Structure 1
């Protein structure tokens, strides 16, 4: 059975979320393409909101 790769945009979002949870700056976004970059930043913003709400331990 073949393994399917996750959608690139959802992967960018997940990577952005992980970066935000660990406290990395949004300037460290590794994506240059507009769609991937916006997904990464969306994940980063979501993580920052979770951190401010106290949902993540730093």
Structure 2
């Protein structure tokens, strides 16, 4: 059985989260589509919040 690809919006959120945890700027978003970009930024914001609370360490 073939493995299913993950949903593109879920992947965008996860990549945004990874970028936020690593301290990258939100200006580095690689997506141009509105929906995909908004999911990436949502993940980025979540990661920045987690870092400020102390849940993640670089």
TM-score norm. by structure 2 comes to 0.99
Distance in 2, Cα, partners of 1:19 & 1:26: 8
Give ranges in structure 1 of 5+ residues lacking alignment: none
Structure-2 residue corresponding to 1:24: 24
Is 1:44–2:37 an aligned residue pair?
Answer: no
Listed one character per residue, the Cα deviations across residues 6-56 of structure 1 (whole Å, up to 9, x for unaligned) are 000000000000000000000000000000000000000000000000000
Give ranges in structure 2 of 5+ residues lacking alignment: none
Structure 1 runs of 4+ off > 3 angstroms? none
Structure-2 residue corresponding to 1:54: 54
